[in-house]
Structure formats: C-alpha cells, structure tokens
A and B are shown apart, each in its own frame.
Chain A
Amino acid sequence: MRRLKSLFMTLGKYPTSIIALVIIMVLLTVSIVTVITIPYSEARRLWSTSSQAWEDYPKRAEPVWTNWFRGGGSKLPPTIIRSTKDVEPLSVESLGSAGVAKETITEIVFDFPYRVHPSELGLTFDAVFETSAPFARITWITPDGREYQVYDSAIYKRRHSLSSDQPLQRALGTFPLLGLFSSPDETLRELSYETATTPQQGTYTLRVLARTFEAESTLDVKLIVYGRVSGIAGTDHMRRGLIIGLLWGTPIALMFGLLAAVGSTMVTFIIAAIGVWFGGWVDSVIQRITEVNLMLPLLPILVMLGIFYTPNIITILGVVILLNIFSTAIKTYRALFMQVKNSPYIEAARAYGAGGFRIIFRYMIPKVAPILIPAFVTLTPGYVFLEAALAFLGVGDISLPTWGKILNNANTEGALFQGQFYWVLEPAFMLLITGLAFAMLGFALDRIFNPRLRGI
C-alpha cells in the first residue's frame, strides 16, 4: 500500500500522467455506468439490425449540440412527433343506423420555424380492429392554408412513409417533402432538391379523418417529421443512436485492451522465467519460437480466423493473447531474469531444496514483477486499436456495438464523402483519448520504473 502511494507521489511529477489518469478514470466510470444502466443483452438488442427501437429516429442525423454552433437561420430541425392520441378530436359522429361505425376528425398541429427541410416524413398507424380495418383520410395544411390530401385509404400497414410515397409524388409533381413544405410563391413543378431553398416557416396542420367500423375499433395516427439532428451523438444509416455504440464501445475497448495486455505480458513473463531457469534446450526452443513468432503476419492470420469462424470477442481476445505471447518483450525479461538467477537468495532457496517451479513462482517472478506495471499500461492502446482495426475490417461479432464497428459503418456508408463528419469523429475521438491516455501514463511509468530513462 505504501509503495502504491509513493508511486502516485512520483507520478505527480509528470503532469501529463495526471491528465492521463483522470481520462482513464472517466473512461472506467463510463464503462461501469454503461454496463449497469444498459445491460449487455439490451445493448445487443438495440444494436441489432432488426431492432424496432429506432423507427422514430432520423437517418444520418447530426448530434443535437451541433445546433449550438449554428446561427438562427441555419439551425437544423430536430425530429417532431405528434399523435392524435394526445389531442381531443374536433368531432365524433356515428355513421349509419347500427351505431357501431364512427367518424372522428382530429387535427394535429406542429410549429416548423426552421429554414432547412426535414429529412423524411412518415405516418405510423395504431389501429385496433377485428375484421374490418379502419379507414383514414389525411389532409396536410400548410401555414398559408393550402391543403393537400396525403392519405386516403384503409389501413393496411403500420408504417407509411409520406416522403417516399410515389402516388403522392405524382400528384404533387415533385418530391413530397419539397411539395408539402414549399412556400406559396414557388411553383411546385419546378421544384427539385437543387432549386428548393427554404421550407415555409409557420404552423402546419394535419387533419385526420378516421372511420372505424367496429364497436371496439380505434385508430391513432402518429406524424413523424424526421429531423436532421438527433440525440447526443447523432444517428447512423439505420437510425440507430450512435450513443449506444459509443457508450458500449468503452467497456469493450478497455476490457479487450487491458485483458490482452495483462494476459499476454504475464504469460510472456512466466515463459521468460521458465526459459532462464531451466536453460539449455528449453531456453533455445523459446528463443526460436520467439524469432519465428515475431515475423508472422499476425493481422492477416487474425482476419482470416475472424472470417472463417466468426468468433465472438472473447475467442478473438484469446487468440490475440496466444499470438502475442512470444513477443520481443521475452528478450527484455530474459535479460532481467538472467541477473536474478545468479543472486544469492536464489542460491539460498536452492540450498534448502526448493524445486524449479517453486523458485520461479516464489522467488524469481515476484522480484521482477513491478517491471510489468508499465508494460500493462503501454501495451493496452495497441490492443485497443487492434480490436478497432478488426472491427473496422468487419471481422468478428457483428451485433456487438464497438467504436471500430461505427467507423466501419461510416466508412462503408461513405460518411466522409457526404460530409457526415460526426459519424467518424466521435468514435475516432474516443479511440484517440483512450490511446493517448494509456500511452501517456505508460511513458511516465516507464521512466519511473526504468531509472536509466529518468533524466531523459
């Protein structure tokens, strides 16, 4: 305990290491909070491509906070959701003599003060019926009073996209989004995405005429004006909030990096000790394996493994550790153990009749073990980036949200071509601070544990 305290005192002399420690603490806290608040199964469910949790979110939307840096005129619209459930109907009328069928007229209104078009327009129907489906006639009313009939049919599916409705596009003579949001002085036929400048600002109304034909039958209509900003971290091409990937990426990256670093270093250390103690052919076999292993094309082999077997992250971790056991570090540790092997206390242990493994594990390893601490820290970012590289290549567990996976999606979906920088910058930023924090701390620890470097 006292040694740990003095270690922290020495670390205080390196200001960068304090920053690094703070960052690592924050990352650890984020990891723990994430794992507790969003359980693993929930994260996988949310991230899976078939998840319905994101259907009310826009595609490729920027983070909400980017609006803070935009002037009043160029602020991007957020998603606006209005439902007939939340407003009182204007009129309810019984149809026919049986008194079962009803006609309900409801108006939902929303304010649109933005000078940028929304990204999509959609309706969600919540219909309850047994045999005869309800009917809806929906009218879109612009702020200046023009009316467009956007839906006139029985309800046959749950979701209906207005912005990609072909009949509506033919009726309007232009893209529905442009037609429905255009200013009165713009002639509809000439509108295209290139010439359309700004949508009309003001209060839009959606008049919903719903007919139900059974006593217990109801129909609720939800209007979704998909925005161009969403959530703290924005969304991807499948409407998923990036925040889930960014948050869950943290424990995965830290776990992978730390376990790989600690696991491979410890095994390397033990093997180096065994080699030195037993010497002879054991030592030379270990040396030869190291030489061979150093020059193996590890990443291509790992990628191959990932493609042919689609292993989960734990298996990948195990293989990574296995392939990194016989690393250059074995030579450094070997040199250290060589010095230890000849020290008097080892001879004393031999004199009382201690066996080889007892000497290795009780006397040799504890003596040099502190040297491992900087190695744990310095090696971690390398493995974090390795995991990201594998995910970036699309290798491994597809349904696991990680930073590399977000980068992979961004790359294959051409985020940089289309100017969706947040999609690339957010995971990159997480990777960068994780990598830098561990590297900076590792550099400081290296100098503390390696006196030869101290002055330099």
Chain B
Amino acid sequence: MEPRENTVVKTIPGEKPSGGSEDSLLPKIKRSHPAWRSLRRFARYTAVRVFTLFCTVAVGIYLAILIANMGGYVDTIVEGTIREAVGSQAANNRAVLLMSREDRQAWIEDKVNAQLASRGMNRPFIIRSFEHLLGALTLDLGRAQFLSSDSGSKEVKRIILERLPITMVLFTTGSVVVFFLALLGALFLSRRYGSTLDRIVVAMAPTSTAPAWFYGIFLILIFASILKILPFGGMLGSSIPKTPLMYALTVLKHMILPLSAWVISRIFLAIYTWRTFFLIHSEEDYVELAKAKGLRNNSLERRYILRPTLPAVITAFTFILITSWQGAIVTETVFGWPGLGSLYYQAINAFDTPVIIGTVVIFAYLLALTVFFLDIVYALIDPRVKLGKEGAQ
C-alpha cells in the first residue's frame, strides 16, 4: 500500500489542486499510514457520536427535570431526603428527645431549613436545575418515596439495577431475533421477488403499525386464556425454581409470549423494508455487470448487494430498536415482565417521583448506549467512515 500511495501523491502536486481545503490537508495525509488514517477518522467519528449522544442524554434528563420541577416535584425529593436524615438525627439525640413536642418540631424545622439553605435550595431554579442535571448524569438518583427493591433497599439506583438486566434479557434477545430473521427473510424474498410468499409478506407489512403490546394482548388471549399452555405473564411463576437449569427454563417459558409479540410487531415491516433496499440495489449497474460476469448468486449477494446496503439496514434497525425500547413500558406492563418498563408503571401508579425520574434517566442512557453500539457497528461496516468524505466521492 505504501509505495502506491506515494506515487499517487507525487503525481498530484503537478496538477491543479481541486479545492483549497484539500490542498492544505495533502501534506498531512502524505506522511501517515492509511491504517492510522482510518483509525484516526474512526476515533473522530466515535468522539463526535459520543458527544452527540451525551448531549441527547443531557437534554432528555433536563427535560424530565423541567417537567417534574414545574410541579415542584424535584424539590420534594431533596427535601424528603433531608427530612429523613434530620428525623433520624432527632431520634438519636437525647437532648432533643427530652424537649417538648413543639420545641422538637421547631428544632427539626430549623435543621431542615439550615440544610436546605446549605444545599442551595433558596437559590433560583435555573441554577439548581443544572445541579439536578449533574446529579442525574452521574447517576445520583436519590431515594424512593414508596417503592423499594426486592432486597429491601430504598435507593433508586439499586431498585433500577435490579430491574435493568431483566429488561435487557428480553429486549436484547428480541432485537437479535428480529435482526437475523428479517435479514435472512429479506434476502430470501429478494431472490424470489414476485412469488406468493413475497406477496404475502408485502401484504403483511402494514401489520407492523400495531405495537408489540397490542399483539401481546392477542397472544395472551390465545395462549394463556384459551389454550392455557403458556403463562399470562410474570417471569418466574408462583415459586422460584431451585436449580439454575430449571430457572433458565422457567424464564424462557415466560419469555415466549413477550418475545413473540415483539417479533411479530416488527418482523414484517423490517423484511419488507430491507427486501426493498436489496431490490433497489440489485438494479444498480455494477450488480448487472457482476451478473453478466457470471458471478454466483451467493457472492453476488454478499459482495454487491449486502455490503453496500448494510449501513442503511443498520440505520433502519436502529430506529426499530429506539421505538421498541420506548414501547417497553407498555409491553412489559401487559406481560407483567418485571423489568424497567414495569417499574416505571409501578412508579407512576405509586406517584413515586424519584423512581419516575430515575427510570427516565436510565431510559435515556439505555437508548443512547443502544444507538452508540449500532453506530460503532455502522462505522465498521460503512467504508465512508474509514475513508473519510474524499474517499466516498
């Protein structure tokens, strides 16, 4: 690679440079190894994405804080925490215990007000809102008002951490299933364009307008209410299984319906969209040329159709994932799946503000991480990221 690169560069200075900015870039490019250059571009791309995603998380959380604060709910969280601390102080202080009731109340109020002032609660909201934002961004989520974790903790972070893996198991499995099923299905159908199966899938594509929770209701009705072969919901049933194998099997059994609902609600549209990508791309001239060369179907698909469309497929998949993550609240509620979505629903019903805000924070992070992961995959697949803008033109 190195000598060839040099010869190319050497011929350029003789010609007229195409643009001013590229002219100034040329000496730098000349010195660096192409692999290094790719890595640098990749790093820059990653840094930009991380920054954008971080901004997204911050905006999402700030929005949540604004919404909650306009009703004065954020301040109640802080005040509640302080009150609890002062209350336990009073209970451990003999001098305070010996006071009359009014004096003790006054002592507590005094302490609470002092603490509130020291925390800057008397400062304008705009300043405090950024402190709340900083707290939320560093996952300092406070203490729950009513809910508690299964282990008995009142810390919002612990409550959420208990639920997070449960949600991850369901939705990661779901995403992987949807991705591979849709990709294989789309390739299969693009080969059999116009067949009966193809027409059926195209006709089924509109069914994806209904979200997973909606299909979930039907699945519960059929498999739990009428056929009675699968559980209505939950994750473990009435008793906790003893052996790890039984545990896994029980979870799997409870996962069948929510997973199916999720796959059904997404699969047809994904197959239809990706099949259309593939079909449009297979009409490109270079594919026709490859066909004319007598390339086998298999390598034609892999190198000439799949390769250039994969970035678009990944982007489409990212949006599927984003919408589905958001739907987790309703889907988990329908199935009683004890993940983050159910926690959010419980928090809503109990009006537990710290948990509500904490869950929104985690949702924001979760969405951003999902998108980041797919962005990295995208960067690895899309040659434009590695080669930069000039390479693509």
State in angstroms the CA–CA spacing of A95 and B175 once bound together: 82
User: Tally of A-B residue pairs with Cβ under 8 A?
Assistant: 139
Nearest chain A residue, comparing its CB with the CB of B68: A308
State in angstroms the CA–CA spacing of A416 and B52 once bound together: 44
Give which listed residue, A295, A424, A456, contacts B371 with CB less than 8 A: A295
Q: Are A440 and B206 in contact (CB under 8 A)?
A: yes
Residues of A within 8 A of B221 (CB): 416, 421, 424-425
Q: Are B52 and A291 in contact (CB under 8 A)?
A: yes
Q: With an 8 A cutoff between CB atoms, is A168 at the interface?
A: no
> Looking at chain B's contact residues, is the secondary structure mostly helix, strand, loop, or mixed?
helix
Residues of A within 8 A of B71 (CB): 308-309
Q: With an 8 A cutoff between CB atoms, is A215 at the interface?
A: no
**The stretch of B97-105, B163-171, B252-260, B360-368 that contacts the partner chain:** B360-368
Residues of A within 8 A of B217 (CB): 407, 411, 416, 424, 428
Nearest chain A residue, comparing its CB with the CB of B73: A308
Give which listed residue, A288, A393, A436, A452, contacts B330 with CB less than 8 A: A393
State in angstroms the CA–CA spacing of A394 and B348 once bound together: 9
Q: Are B63 and A296 in contact (CB under 8 A)?
A: yes
A13-36 interface code vs B (CB 8 A; 1 in, 0 out): 000100000000000000000000
State in angstroms the CA–CA spacing of A307 and B71 once bound together: 11
Residues of A within 8 A of B280 (CB): 452, 456
Give which listed residue, B193, B207, B326, contacts A300 with CB less than 8 A: B326
Nearest chain A residue, comparing its CB with the CB of B198: A456
Residues of B within 8 A of A348 (CB): none
Q: With an 8 A cutoff between CB atoms, is A140 at the interface?
A: no
Nearest chain B residue, comparing its CB with the CB of A407: B217
A417-456 interface code vs B (CB 8 A; 1 in, 0 out): 1010100110010011001101110110000000011001
Q: With an 8 A cutoff between CB atoms, is B149 at the interface?
A: no
Q: With an 8 A cutoff between CB atoms, is A354 at the interface?
A: no
Nearest chain A residue, comparing its CB with the CB of B193: A456
Q: Are A416 and B224 in contact (CB under 8 A)?
A: yes
State in angstroms the CA–CA spacing of A262 and B130 once bound together: 35
The verdict on A436 contacting B344 (CB below 8 Å), with A304-B356, A392-B213, A424-B217 known, is no
Q: Are A393 and B348 in contact (CB under 8 A)?
A: yes
Q: Are A304 and B232 in contact (CB under 8 A)?
A: no
CB neighbors of A among B305-331 (8 A): 319, 322, 325-327, 329-330
> Looking at chain A's contact residues, is the secondary structure mostly helix, strand, loop, or mixed?
helix
**The stretch of B54-62, B177-185, B243-251 that contacts the partner chain:** B54-62
Min CB–CB distance A57 → chain B (angstroms)? 24
Give which listed residue, A305, A309, A416, A442, contacts B232 with CB less than 8 A: A416
Q: With an 8 A cutoff between CB atoms, is A381 at the interface?
A: yes
A57-101 interface code vs B (CB 8 A; 1 in, 0 out): 000000000000000000000000000000000000000000000
Q: Are B225 and A443 in contact (CB under 8 A)?
A: no
Nearest chain A residue, comparing its CB with the CB of B364: A297
Min CB–CB distance A105 → chain B (angstroms)? 49
Q: Are B344 and A416 in contact (CB under 8 A)?
A: no
B350-385 interface code vs A (CB 8 A; 1 in, 0 out): 010000110110011001100100000000000000
Residues of B within 8 A of A435 (CB): 206, 209-210
Q: Are A456 and B279 in contact (CB under 8 A)?
A: yes
Interface size on B, residues (CB 8 A): 57
Q: Are B209 and A381 in contact (CB under 8 A)?
A: yes
Q: Are A417 and B232 in contact (CB under 8 A)?
A: yes
Q: With an 8 A cutoff between CB atoms, is A382 at the interface?
A: yes
Q: Are B364 and A307 in contact (CB under 8 A)?
A: no
Q: With an 8 A cutoff between CB atoms, is B145 at the interface?
A: no
Q: Are A301 and B225 in contact (CB under 8 A)?
A: no
Q: With an 8 A cutoff between CB atoms, is B106 at the interface?
A: no
The verdict on A303 contacting B344 (CB below 8 Å), with A292-B55, A295-B371 known, is yes
Q: Are B345 and A393 in contact (CB under 8 A)?
A: yes
Min CB–CB distance B358 → chain A (angstroms)? 11
State in angstroms the CA–CA spacing of A428 and B280 once bound together: 36
Min CB–CB distance B17 → chain A (angstroms)? 25
State in angstroms the CA–CA spacing of A299 and B367 once bound together: 12
Residues of B within 8 A of A301 (CB): 60, 63-64, 67, 360
Q: Are B211 and A419 in contact (CB under 8 A)?
A: no
Q: Are B210 and A392 in contact (CB under 8 A)?
A: no
Residues of A within 8 A of B344 (CB): 300, 303
Q: Are A307 and B209 in contact (CB under 8 A)?
A: no
Q: Are B206 and A431 in contact (CB under 8 A)?
A: no
Residues of B within 8 A of A381 (CB): 209-210
Q: With an 8 A cutoff between CB atoms, is B334 at the interface?
A: yes
Min CB–CB distance B200 → chain A (angstroms)? 12
Q: Could you write out 10 A-B pairs with CB less than 8 Å apart?
A: A295-B53, A295-B368, A299-B326, A304-B356, A307-B348, A389-B211, A389-B330, A393-B330, A436-B207, A439-B209
Q: Give 4 closest A-B pairs by Cβ, nearest first.
A: A439-B206, A297-B363, A381-B209, A299-B326
- Chain A interfacial positions (CB closer than 8 Å to B): 16, 288, 291-292, 294-301, 303-305, 307-309, 328, 381-382, 385, 388-389, 392-395, 407, 411, 416-417, 419, 421, 424-425, 428, 431-432, 435-436, 438-440, 442-443, 452-453, 456
Q: A295-B367, A296-B364, A421-B225 are in contact. List 18 more A-B contacts (CB 8 A).
A: A291-B56, A294-B322, A295-B368, A296-B367, A301-B60, A301-B63, A303-B344, A307-B348, A307-B351, A385-B209, A388-B214, A389-B211, A416-B224, A417-B232, A421-B221, A438-B209, A439-B207, A456-B279
